[in-house]
Structure formats: C-alpha cells, structure tokens
Amino acid sequence: MASLSTGKPLFIFVISAFILSSCSSIKKTQRPVYGNNGGVIVQPTGPTIKRMGPYVMEKPDKDDAEKYSAIMGVKKSDIKNGRLYSFLNEWMGVPYKYGGLEKDGIDCSGFVYRLQQEVYDIENMPRSTNTQINFIKRKYEEELKEGDLVFFDFDGRQFSHVGVYLQNGYVVHASTRKGIMIIKLKDPYMYKYFSRGGSVLVEREGDTESSGR
C-alpha cells in the first residue's frame, strides 16, 4: 500500500476501481466477454447482437407445462417455449458463484448470458450487466414479454443486477443467497430496486429486430 502515497499510482488505482464492475453485490470486477471459441468478442458498433441462425421455438414437455404454469399462475397452454423451460429445469437451484458460468455456480449476468445463447440462439450476448444494458430496447413494465431482460440497481449502483422476465410478472434470476430461482418482479424486496427492462435487440439478415415475442 506504500505505493499509493504517490499521485500517479493512486490515480491508476482509482481508475481501475471505477472500471471494474459486475452483477455481484460483493465483488465488482468486470470480466471480458468470451465467444464460443474462447476469443474475446468485439462488440458491434450499433446496439444490436446476432443470432446463431433462425430461431426455432420447440414445444414444451407436458410436465414442464404443468410445473411452470402452476408456479406462475398461467394456463398450461401459455407455456409454449420448451427450450426455455427445459433450460430452467436444468439450472433451477444452481448456487450463486461470482464469475461462475457452470452448474457448480453462476452469477446473474452469466446466467443471462447462457440463457440467451442456449435458448434464443444469441451469438454474441455480452457477459456483464453493464454491457448487457446497452443491447435492449427499453419497454414499460406492462409491455415486458417472455425472454426480456430486467435490471436492478443494488448497492447504489445502476444496472448492477439482471434477470429474465418470464410471464405474469415473474422473473428468473441468480440470487446471491438462493441461487437460480423464480420470483415475482413486484416482490417487496426486489421491486424497490427495479430499474429498467426491455427486449434484446437482434440483428438478422441485415435488419434489426426486437427479441421480445
């Protein structure tokens, strides 16, 4: 810590601390965004990201339709995206782990990163919350649709936490205490930190579209 007594090292330290951020409420380190081949993704110049190919929705398993319709208080016929709810089955209850991307632990932005890739075929979904916020088409709360992103301001930091909107006011996210879980957006604790929501902007065949279905 002795080196911090001089002006220049202190300046570097302060700038470094400012740059580092993530969805964790404990640590604040920004991780690079990695593609499927391990290379760092260069973000597009415009506010769009790309699909891996034409998105195809699959029918849900009957048990999944029954399970999630009961959880969210909707009709079984409203559970249409089999890929989404199959994905949730695999990840539900996985513990929170800062910087994690695997079943032994994952953080909020990592969960969104994997969900958007594996469910919606998003090719270059950003890895951190402070980048993910730049790739949505902002919506009013009542306009939110399944697959949209919802951001929260925890610890006095704007857009420091992210989840995915489902249906009927429910959101799935990586809780620091309980891991991957489904909760009401208007949960008394969560809702007071709710900041912004919107659909992911997707570039396909030269056109920009919203992923909100």
Question: H helices within the chain, ranges in order?
Answer: 7-19, 62-72, 82-91, 108-120, 129-132, 188-191
CA-to-CA separations, 24 to 29, 30, 152, 181, 194, in angstroms, rounded:
8, 10, 12, 16, 16
Kindly report the backbone phi and psi dihedral angles of residue 97, in degrees, each rounded to the nearest multiple of 5, phi listed first: -145, 120
CA-to-CA separations, 35 to 40, 97, 122, 210, in angstroms, rounded:
6, 20, 11, 22
pTM: 0.77
Q: What does each of the 213 residues of the chain score in pLDDT, given as a tens digit?
A: 444 444 444 433 333 333 233 464 333 323 333 333 333 333 333 457 888 877 889 999 999 999 999 999 999 999 999 999 999 999 999 999 999 999 999 999 999 999 999 999 998 899 999 999 999 999 999 999 999 999 999 989 999 999 999 999 999 999 999 999 999 999 999 999 999 999 999 874 444 455 554
pLDDT at 65: 97
Reading the block at residue 172, the tokens are 């799935």
> How would you classify the pairing of strands 136-139 and 207-210?
unpaired
Paired residues of 202 in beta bridges? 49, 209
Paired residues of 180 in beta bridges? 174
Residues classed as catalytic: 108, 161, 173
pLDDT at 163: 98
Location of structure tokens 């990201």? 49
27-210 CATH choice from 3.40.50.300, 1.10.3730.10, 2.60.40.10, 3.90.1720.10: 3.90.1720.10
For the chain, domain boundaries: 27-210
Cβ atoms within 10 Å, residue 41: 18
